[in-house]
Amino acid sequence: MQVLVLNGVNLDTLARRDPSLYGGLSINELETKIYEWAHALDISARCRQSNSEGEYIEWIHDAYNDVDAVIVNPGAWSHYSYAIRDALEVLEVPIVEVHLSDIEHREEWRRTSVIADVVSKRVIGKGPDGYREALEYLAGKVEE
């Protein structure tokens, strides 16, 4: 199974952000964990991060024919980017939305996700372990 993991805006600054909300890892440390978890599940993962919405959307377009599943953490784009939502909607593979912090119990503006209705599963507020849960779900290891 080939899984694309797309991290969005400001996730490259994870190590500088509040560790109680975001887990205290750098983006490189997070990606290392994702690769380790994927390997243990016999999944091939590719991680990418961008602060450019257009580039992020291009990566989604590239995934239309190349991957078996996608894990997305668009960061703040989750709350307003209908362009990302439209790109994800065309995918014919499972999509898991991951957020490190519990966006449903933070500021009012963070509580809305414009992509929630086009994903197969949402994993929210579990820190870096949310990516592991997403991978397990995609590998069929998590019972719904």
DSSP 14: G
22 is catalytic: yes
Do 104 and 124 contact (CB within 8 A), yes or no? yes
61 is catalytic: no
Choice among 22, 56, 131, 137 that is catalytic: 22
Choice among 64, 82, 99, 105 that is catalytic: 99
- The C-alpha atoms of residue 111 and residue 94 are separated, in whole angstroms, by 23
Task: With CA atoms as reference, report the closest residue to 55 among 7, 11, 113, 122.
Answer: 7
What residues are annotated to the active site?
22, 99
